[in-house]
């Protein structure tokens, strides 16, 4: 099927734009870390069930050591650490600014691909990097924006960390795809280590005690279930397919359209009309991303 990687990336971006709003809502109600823990656990269970239906086993035991290492590391950095920062960023800055910060991920992916995958970095790509960063700075420095719930600077720093995790995660996943492996297998190899690491870290920090009380908030539980199905389950699966079937740069570019898709959703759902500067700056940032990879 032609352009299956590109189609997968665009659908994943559309799903993630929706989950950004759902996860921001649950993050404010039950806490960002609780939301992240539950969505990772639910996504892992759904993936294992799907894998069992397809193969009769719960885990891709046939995967090589190399695939376990690179895909597992990609999951820990991207889906555990990076997304942990993103969920707090969503609560502080809101879905529009938080997803815009993720536009830095393709910039980071480009730089790491240049350093470690020997991909070329020409003048057009460099211009795209500056354009993306400039667009983000222009929007973030806007005086009229959605009210933040906490320190705006902390939200920006967490957004950068989230972008770094996502960008590095894409590169590491590409290493895992150097040998043949199915996209569902790869998604499991990324999601399960991420889930295990996050739950172990929270257990050691004594942060799991509030989890049982979360289930009394039925609306949050419903949102987490819906968002986990369309986000870390279907969305991450499609993102892995995009990384496998197209170049890392193209996949990252199309996945980076999330902040553009979030703008009309926030307007429709929340009634928060974005300023012209916010729309233009977001489009400039995403155009910079496109310039980087579609040169």
pLDDT digits (tens, 9 = 90+) for 252-284: 778 878 888 898 888 888 877 888 888 898 999
Output helix, strand, coil percentages for the chain, rounded to the nearest 5. 80, 0, 20
Q: Measure the CA–CA gap between 50 and 189, rounded to whole angstroms.
A: 14
Both tokens assigned to 247: 């170049």
Q: 162 falls in which pLDDT band (50, 70, 90)? A: very high
Q: What is the pLDDT of residue 194?
A: 94
Q: What is the pLDDT of residue 143?
A: 55
Both tokens assigned to 173: 């996943």
In the predicted structure, residue 84 carries a pLDDT above the cut 80: yes
* Four-residue CA torsion sign, 130, 135, 140, 141: positive
Total number of domains in the chain: 1
Q: Please state the rounded mean pLDDT for residues 286-293.
A: 82
Closest of 47, 12, 2, 6 to residue 239, by C-alpha: 12
Q: Measure the CA–CA gap between 191 and 114, rounded to whole angstroms.
A: 26
Q: Please state the rounded mean pLDDT for residues 124-150.
A: 79
Q: What is the pLDDT of residue 70?
A: 94
User: How many residues are there in the chain?
Assistant: 295
In the predicted structure, residue 247 carries a pLDDT above the cut 80: no
Domain hosting 52: range is 4-293
């Amino acid at each position: 099927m032609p352009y299956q990687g590109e189609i997968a990336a665009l659908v994943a971006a559309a799903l993630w734009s929706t989950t950004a709003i759902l996860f921001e809502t649950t993050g404010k109600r039950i806490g960002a870390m609780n939301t992240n823990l539950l969505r990772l656990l639910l996504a892992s269970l759904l993936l294992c069930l799907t894998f069992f239906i397809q193969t009769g086993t719960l885990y891709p035991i046939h995967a090589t050591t190399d695939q376990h290492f690179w895909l597992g590391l990609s999951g820990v950095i991207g889906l555990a650490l990076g997304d942990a920062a993103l969920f707090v960023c969503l609560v502080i800055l809101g879905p529009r600014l938080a997803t815009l910060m993720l536009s830095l991920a393709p910039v980071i992916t480009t730089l790491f691909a240049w350093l470690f995958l020997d991909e070329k970095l020409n003048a057009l790509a460099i211009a795209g990097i500056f354009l993306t960063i400039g667009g983000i700075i222009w929007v973030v420095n806007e005086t009229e924006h959605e009210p933040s719930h906490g320190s705006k600077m902390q939200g920006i720093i967490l957004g950068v960390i989230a972008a770094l995790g996502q960008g590095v995660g894409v590169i590491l996943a590409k290493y895992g795809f150097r040998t043949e492996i199915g996209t569902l297998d790869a998604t499991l190899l990324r999601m399960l280590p991420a889930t295990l690491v996050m739950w172990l870290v929270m257990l050691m920090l004594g942060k799991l005690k509030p989890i049982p009380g979360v289930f009394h908030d039925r609306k949050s539980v419903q949102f987490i279930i819906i968002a986990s199905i369309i986000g870390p389950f279907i969305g991450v699966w499609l993102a892995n397919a995009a990384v496998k079937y197209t170049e890392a740069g193209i996949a990252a570019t199309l996945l980076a359209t999330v902040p553009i898709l979030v703008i009309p959703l926030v307007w429709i759902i929340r009634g928060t009309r974005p300023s012209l500067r916010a729309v233009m700056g977001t489009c400039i940032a995403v155009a910079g991303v496109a310039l980087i990879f579609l040169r």
